[in-house]
């Protein structure tokens, strides 16, 4: 783990820092490196170019921990339009239109109302149902992001419930959580689609591994479970060691490229993304857009000291 990560994630909670950083126009190169833009109109050309390069996409309309019902409703409205726009982009770009949708939306249940008090989980579940219904009509997939550990149980419950009707609905599992391997076993026996990531939030040692070696070992254990039992494992990592392990496990379990996919974040390891695609692997890029980019950007800065240095230089050069 980046030794500065806890400090950066803790500082990210300061409203003064947030005010200072969000004054940076989103067009600033440093924000644009990780975020497609503030509006859907900015996202569409980015998604189109990625599809044209042979990659698939998963698009996140940024927003989290919504405390206002109107904001949750607005997020649903935006996602409904996003699903339509992505379906149009998919049709417009030539290429293999297989059973595996090339376009997907990623969403956070806290943006759909999960944190709206006692009724929050039910509101988020209802909104998730609405979006999955629309996604089926437009041949678009949905993955539910994993947020901080206080939301994990509610999120997994909502996904289990929705999967009865939408078995292709995916969820992200964070291998820094001590419960990750149990969750992987539990969900993989259903033959589900699971996105495996290391985890990006600041979590207490009571629930999460803190050492990089432990998080990586947990990733490898979960990967082993998913490669054996899940219908469609999604390896969301930029780490060469995790990618190599996935390729070995895929071959040991007689999977062909296309039985699983790699996933990376927009703006990170673009060369490696292209290399995997050129070797015939399925690769999906997670693209965020929207005005609420602060939390997302801070998690990316916390992952890598070089990103923070780049960001601070960009701020002082303005």
User: Residue numbers of the site for ligand FAD (CB under 6 A)?
Assistant: 145-146, 172, 174, 195, 197-201, 236-239, 242, 263-265, 268-269, 286, 300, 303-304, 307
Q: How far is the CB of 124 from ligand FAD (least distance, A)?
A: 15
What is the smallest separation between the CB atom of 265 and ligand FAD, expressed in angstroms? 5
Distance in angstroms (rounded) separating the CA atoms of residues 138 and 244:
34
Name the minimum Å distance from CB 203 to ligand FAD: 9
Phi, psi angles (nearest 5°) of residue 103:
-115, 140
- How distant, in Å, are the alpha carbons of 77, 79, 122, 176, 209 from that of 203? 32, 29, 25, 9, 9
Structure token pair of residue 192: 């589900």
What are φ and ψ of residue 9, in 5° steps?
-70, -35
Of all residues in the chain, what percent are helix, strand and coil, respectively (each to 5)? 50, 15, 35
Whichever of 146 and 249 has its CB closer to ligand FAD, that residue is: 146
Min CB(111)–ligand FAD separation in Å: 12
Is 195 a residue of the active site? yes
The active-site residue, picked from 60, 145, 154, 229, is: 145
Q: Nearer to ligand FAD by C-beta: 134 or 149?
A: 149
Q: How far apart are CA 64 and CA 92, in angstroms?
A: 31
- 222 — phi, psi (to 5°)? -65, -40
Q: What does DSSP say about strands 232-236 and 141-144: parallel, antiparallel, or unpaired?
A: unpaired
Neighbours of 55 (CB within 10 A): 23
State which residue, 11 or 268, has the beta carbon closest to ligand FAD: 268
Which one, of 244, 254, 200, 201, lies nearest residue 223 by Cα?
244
Distance between CA 86 and CA 76 in Å, rounded?
A: 15
Minimum distance from residue 239 beta carbon to ligand FAD (Å)? 4
Neighbours of 289 (CB within 10 A): 27
Nearer to ligand FAD, 125 or 215 (CB): 215
Q: Give the distance, in angstroms, between the CA of residue 172 and the centroid of all CA atoms in the same chain.
A: 7
Structural element, H or E, at residue 285: strand 283-289
Nearer to ligand FAD, 5 or 134 (CB): 5
Shortest approach of ligand FAD to residue 149 CB, angstroms?
Answer: 10
Q: Toward ligand FAD, which CB reaches closer, 10 or 92?
A: 10
Which is the catalytic residue, given 55, 195, 299, 300? 195
Q: Is 145 considered catalytic here?
A: yes
Q: How far apart are CA 263 and CA 107, in angstroms?
A: 15
Q: Which residues are catalytic?
A: 145, 195
């Amino acid at each position: 783990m980046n030794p500065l990560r806890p400090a950066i994630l803790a500082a990210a909670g300061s409203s003064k820092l947030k005010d200072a950083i969000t004054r940076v126009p989103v067009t600033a190169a440093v924000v644009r490196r990780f975020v497609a833009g503030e509006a859907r109109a900015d996202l569409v050309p980015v998604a189109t170019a990625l599809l044209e390069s042979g990659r698939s996409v998963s698009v996140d309309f940024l927003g989290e921990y919504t405390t206002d019902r109107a904001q949750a409703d607005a997020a649903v409205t935006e996602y409904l339009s996003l699903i339509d726009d992505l379906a149009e982009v998919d049709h417009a770009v030539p290429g293999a239109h297989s059973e595996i949708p090339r376009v997907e939306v990623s969403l956070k249940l806290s943006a759909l109302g999960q944190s709206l008090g006692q009724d929050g989980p039910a509101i988020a579940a209802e909104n998730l149902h609405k979006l999955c219904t629309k996604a089926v009509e437009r041949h678009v997939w949905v993955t539910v992001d994993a947020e901080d550990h206080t939301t994990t149980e509610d999120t997994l419950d909502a996904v289990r419930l929705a999967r009865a009707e939408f078995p292709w609905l995916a969820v992200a599992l964070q291998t820094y959580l001590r419960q990750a391997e149990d969750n992987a076993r539990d969900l993989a026996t259903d033959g589900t689609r699971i996105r495996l990531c290391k985890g990006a939030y600041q979590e207490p040692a009571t629930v999460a591994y803190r050492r990089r070696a432990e998080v990586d070992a947990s990733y490898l254990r979960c990967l082993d479970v998913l490669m054996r039992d899940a219908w469609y494992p999604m390896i969301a990592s930029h780490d060469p060691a995790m990618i190599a392990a996935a390729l070995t496990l895929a071959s040991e379990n007689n999977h062909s490229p296309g039985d699983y996919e790699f996933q990376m974040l927009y703006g990170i390891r673009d060369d490696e993304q292209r290399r995997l695609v050129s070797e015939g692997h399925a690769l999906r890029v997670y693209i965020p857009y929207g005005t609420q980019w602060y939390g997302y950007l801070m998690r990316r800065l916390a992952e890598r000291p070089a990103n923070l240095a780049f960001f601070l230089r960009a701020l002082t050069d303005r």
